[in-house]
Amino acid sequence: MENKSKNPSSSVVSELEGTLLNDPDPFSYFMLIAFEASGLIRFALLLLLWPLIRLLGLVGLEDLGLKLTVFVAVGGLREAEIESAARAVLPKFYMDDVNMEAWRVFSRCDRRVVVTMSPRVMVERFVKEHLGADEVIGSELGVTWFGFATGFVRDDVGSISARVKAMFEAERPTLGLGRANPIQSQSFLSLCEERIYSPLNEDTTNLKHDHPLIRPHPVIFHDGRLVKRPTPSTALLILLWIPLGILLAAIRIVIGLILPMSVIPHVSRLFGGGVVVKGKPPPPASTANTGVLFVCTHRTLMDPVVLSVVLGRRVPAVTYSISRLSEILSPIPTVRLTRTRHVDADMIKRELAKGDLVVCPEGTTCREPFLLRFSALFAELTDRIVPVAMNYRVGFFHATTARGWKALDPIFFFMNPRPVYEVTFLNQLPVEATCTAGKSPHDVANYVQRILGATLGFECTNFTRKDKYRVLAGNDGTVVYTSCVDQVKKIVCAFKPFIIN
């Protein structure tokens, strides 16, 4: 390491792979693009070529191997599909791989530029919104007039070194962060006044602890089906598991449809499923009083079903945006909301007069340890409120989606080798904490959100369903119900992860 800069108005140029990210090889991120933007065949083809790509890197042809990776991963895809995956899927995996020591050095500088081996479109959103970068320098994908990626990178944008030099014009970047060996790093590091080579060593202690509590902006919303970053070994394991996972999912779904609720927990253990229950659930509703309103955190579409399994009875659930197929396959009754407040309020009151009811006031799922803002409608309708903290663990596939077809959510959940749900029953709210005692509905909703967040160790936010869908899908999450023909078309599109463009 050369002399360190402490000038708060300094500029920094940092390599992404191997510096701001721990992994110097971007191959797994191209695997994500191949799976999420195209399908299983392209995913498998790219994995099949990995030994050749690896060999090219070992013999000094790393640039050729990267071009081959780009061509197979994105050639023929719509540019919009690539951008969508880069916006909704990649940031979570990038964040998990961030080198915090390098980022703290990077974040000290006033002007921050990131250099990447990947196409700029893949990393730009993440490094600007989460790492605080001002500019990104990477390869540019060739795109046809019809919006399809050619798979080739454009040569007319110039070398990395020339683009860094042009960006800073007559000045020199104050600080350069990068690896010592790769040619790309050397090409721009030679332009910097001072250099720090990755991995950072003990000489950077005074830099990395200047702001020990500062962290990158967290990823709250993310999409995609894969839980783990598909490194070659993980990707191979996923491909080998999928046929068995589909069979296992079919068996688990049939069990849920034909067996009594009280029997399902015992049988599910035979097929790898598990439910962890904490707290004591209330007894069933009686003729002496109205039903209990179970207010749950919303992790997957399975939340009300799992709650019914734990209670040993089929408790109806309030729904809004689930598909018709999900309603048909649901082992519990569903009550579809209209999003018209007085109509929904009357509907919920009628259901509570019949017995217990489940509601998820977040309105949509959130995978990360955050709770979205709770709708206050439930607090106006009853004082018999039982908060239930729901959480789950899966190994391979996420059971939620914003960009795909939601009817496949339970199938992907059951395709996991050992899906586990954690259900924690809290005490029923005391009357003095409800609207009956004069509390406002918003105060009650916020209170329930806080105690559920504290139980799970989650952070409470003010984000809503619309915020999630604007980030992940570019819309407000409004559901428009279509004809049977359109539903069939959606089914075909839903299996896009298993076909190739």
Residue 74: burial class (beta carbons within 10 Å; 0-12, 13-18, 19+)? buried
- With contact defined as beta carbons under 8 Å apart, do 405 and 412 qualify? no
Which distant-in-sequence residues (6+ apart) come within 8 Å of 384 by Cβ?
A: 289, 290, 291, 292, 293, 352, 428
Ranges of H-type helices in 78-220: 79-88, 90-96, 100-107, 120-129, 160-168, 183-189, 205-208
Q: Which two tokens stand for residue 361?
A: 């006031």
- The conformational region for residue 19 under phi > 0 = left, psi -120 to 50 = alpha, else beta, is alpha
Cα 318 to Cα 327: distance, rounded to the nearest angstrom: 11
Cα 181 to Cα 190: distance, rounded to the nearest angstrom: 13
pLDDT at residue 425, as a whole number: 96
pLDDT at residue 487, as a whole number: 46
**What angle (nearest 5°) sits at the alpha carbon of residue 400, between those of residues 291 and 148?**
150
Q: What DSSP element (H or E) covers 47? A: helix 40-48
pLDDT at residue 185, as a whole number: 59
Ranges of H-type helices in 337-482: 341-354, 377-381, 409-414, 441-456, 465-472
Pairing of strands 293-296, 385-393: parallel
The helix-helix angle for 40-48 and 27-37 (nearest 10°) equals 150
- With contact defined as beta carbons under 8 Å apart, do 335 and 351 qualify? yes
pTM of the shown model: 0.87
pLDDT at residue 157, as a whole number: 66
pLDDT at residue 183, as a whole number: 58
- The conformational region for residue 76 under phi > 0 = left, psi -120 to 50 = alpha, else beta, is left
pLDDT at residue 249, as a whole number: 93
Closest CA to 302 of 270, 278, 334, 279: 334
Give 383-432 pLDDT, tens digit per residue: 999 999 999 999 999 999 888 888 888 899 999 999 999 999 999 999 99
Closest CA to 381 of 316, 460, 291: 291
| Amino acid at site 467 | D
- With contact defined as beta carbons under 8 Å apart, do 197 and 1 qualify? yes
- With contact defined as beta carbons under 8 Å apart, do 429 and 383 qualify? yes
pLDDT at residue 479, as a whole number: 54
- With contact defined as beta carbons under 8 Å apart, do 247 and 140 qualify? no
Whole-angstrom Cα Rg for the chain = 26
Q: Extract the residue ranges of the chain whose pLDDT is less than 50.
A: 1-8, 202, 205-210, 481-485, 487-488, 490-492, 494-501
Per-domain residue ranges for the chain?
11-208, 232-498
pLDDT at residue 155, as a whole number: 73
Q: Give me the count of residues in the chain.
A: 501
Supply φ then ψ for residue 108, to 5 degrees.
Answer: -70, -25
pLDDT at residue 391, as a whole number: 96
Exposure on the CB side of residue 112, measured as CA atoms within 13 A = 22
pLDDT at residue 478, as a whole number: 62
Cα 43 to Cα 491: distance, rounded to the nearest angstrom: 21
Which distant-in-sequence residues (6+ apart) come within 8 Å of 466 by Cβ?
A: 476, 477
The answer to whether the bond into 316 is cis (omega within 30° of 0) is no
pLDDT at residue 13, as a whole number: 93
Q: Say yes or no: domain 11-208 is CATH 3.40.50.1000.
A: yes
Q: Which two tokens stand for residue 48?
A: 């099949």
- With contact defined as beta carbons under 8 Å apart, do 313 and 261 qualify? yes
Could you give the strand order of the β-sheet that contains 293-296, starting from the edge strand earlier in sequence? 274-278, 420-425, 385-393, 293-296, 357-359, 317-319, 334-336
